[in-house]
A and B are shown apart, each in its own frame.
Chain A
Amino acid sequence: MSGIVAVIDYGMGNLHSVASALEHVGASEVVVTHDADVIRQADRVVFPGVGGIRDCMSEIRRLKCDELLAQALTQQQVPVLAICVGLQALMSRSEENDGVDCLDTIPGEVRYFGNPLTDAEGARLKVPHMGWNEVHQTMNHPLWAGIPDMTRFYFVHSYYAHAWDRSLLAGSVQYGVSADAALARDNLFAVQFHPEKSATAGLRLLKNFLEWNGQC
């Protein structure tokens, strides 16, 4: 049973697609909210995000979503899935918007892809990193169940995360640099790509999340 899935809404963009993808793969009840009472009672929490990190962080703090997230992770100990800027917000600091302090939940930094960015053969790579790229699974994890290694997921971002503790790396993606595509620790799984926009593979990951007991 997936129970109640709370998608944390801090006002930065449309979260309907995350919610409808979760419903599509069988979530019985998905609530898009920043209501503390609802999130406290949720059985699973999704922490999404789009847009610039400075605005995201200021709204996360203003609406006390940082506290709710910390509580979900450590007190409720429910499965938590962070997506895209949600993952970046978990890091210590981002280079975006002239440097922004983030939540420091996963120590590490968020870096610009660089301009110019080139691949191993010296060909120029566009920024943002937009489209379907292969994710190398660097960890066995319940959220990868049924998804072959090097499956493509949909990415769109100009900044990428790099966690200091490399043992937390669950998936990596090559785009001029090796970027952290997925990070995992205890009941937290964080992805840089958009599972809700990644067709079958993304839906499988979301289904795995609904079935996950929060243990690696």
Chain B
Amino acid sequence: MGLAKRIIPCLDVENGRVVKGVNFVDIRDAGDPVEIAMRYNEQGADELCFLDITASHEGRDTTVHTVEQIAEHVFIPLTVGGGIRAIEDIRTMLNAGADKVSINTAAIHNPELVRESAQRFGSQCIIVAIDAKRVDDVEGQPRWEIFTHGGRKPTGIDAVAWAMRMAELGAGEILLTSMDRDGTKNGFELGVTRAITDAVEIPVIASGGVGTLDHLVDGVIQGGADAVLAASIFHFGEYTVPQAKAYMAQHGIEVRR
């Protein structure tokens, strides 16, 4: 027995409200991030992830306030991603009570941000988010490239090489999202998950495409992921976190219960 594989529900937050809503039984307000965070905490989620999709500056101040409120009520690790572009953004979120921030596009524009922030705040709170898409080479061998702008813009960067570089620069964890699978409910892209978990020493969170509990099991057993992140299967009451953990445990995966 040893370290448990983690289950991380992820919420999209805009202007301090959870968008797309979350359908729990007995919930008063499907958009209140604090209430939703507390529910997931009660269910036994191992961590929580907030993706801030707020566009405006004022809206982002609201998000900071939301993070503060959650940190006062929920005592499990909290990651905030989306819009983290500079050291100052990281400091703001950590001071608000986030335990980790996830850096995505900013790392591509300025890889030194990862080194600098890891040195300043510690690797443990710096997650690099990688949005990968499969682009097989001329011989049809699988290859994955990093895309930005929600999967629309190719960067030419190889996802596995990038993950290794980010780890070298001091990232404490990789959040890997398959842009081919995100929102499809067809399961994780296991090829890239396995390629990256094998390539780096740091933990990898698999994300994108979870539709069934078998997908979570596959992400850990076949993909080698250290944690699995999912949104809709939990939000709409299809499965609860305890159900997911029970199912993973049945398949020989160590989970916290």
Q: Which residues of A contact B (CB under 8 A)?
A: 13-14, 16-17, 20-21, 24, 50-52, 115-116, 119, 125-134, 150, 152, 154, 156-158, 174-175, 196-199, 202-203
Residue B94 is within 8 A (CB to CB) of chain A in the complex:
yes
Count, chain B residues at interface, CB 8 A: 33
Collect the chain A residues with CB atoms within 8 Å of residue B106's CB: none
Known: A16-B97, A51-B122. A133 touches B75 (CB 8 A): no
Contact B97 A50 (CB under 8 A): no
Cβ-defined partner of B71 (8 Å) among A20, A127, A198 = A20
Cβ-defined partner of B46 (8 Å) among A129, A131, A175, A203 = A131
Contact B122 A50 (CB under 8 A): yes
Collect the chain A residues with CB atoms within 8 Å of residue B172's CB: 128, 130, 156
B140-170 contacts to A, CB under 8 A, are none
Collect the chain B residues with CB atoms within 8 Å of residue A20's CB: 71-72, 97
Contact B77 A197 (CB under 8 A): yes
Collect the chain A residues with CB atoms within 8 Å of residue B6's CB: 131-132
Contact B4 A132 (CB under 8 A): yes
Collect the chain B residues with CB atoms within 8 Å of residue A119's CB: 2
Annotate B51-93 by CB proximity to A: 1 below 8 A, 0 otherwise: 0000000000000000000011101110000000000000000
**6 A-B contacts (beta carbon < 8 Å):** A14-B95, A20-B72, A129-B3, A131-B4, A131-B203, A174-B2
Contact A131 B3 (CB under 8 A): yes
Q: Which residues of B contact A (CB under 8 A)?
A: 1-6, 41, 44, 46, 71-73, 75-77, 94-95, 97, 99, 119, 121-125, 172-173, 201-203, 226-227, 256
Bound Cα distance A150, B256 (Å): 11
How far apart are B44's CB and chain A's nearest CB, in angstroms? 8
Known: A127-B201, A131-B46, A132-B256. A17 touches B121 (CB 8 A): no
Contact A203 B203 (CB under 8 A): no
How far apart are A90's CB and chain B's nearest CB, in angstroms? 18
Contact A134 B1 (CB under 8 A): yes
Bound Cα distance A141, B4 (Å): 25
Contact B71 A197 (CB under 8 A): no
Contact A126 B4 (CB under 8 A): no
Q: 10 new A-B pairs (CB below 8 Å) besides A119-B2, A125-B2, A133-B2?
A: A13-B121, A21-B75, A50-B122, A50-B125, A116-B201, A129-B3, A130-B3, A130-B124, A132-B256, A156-B77
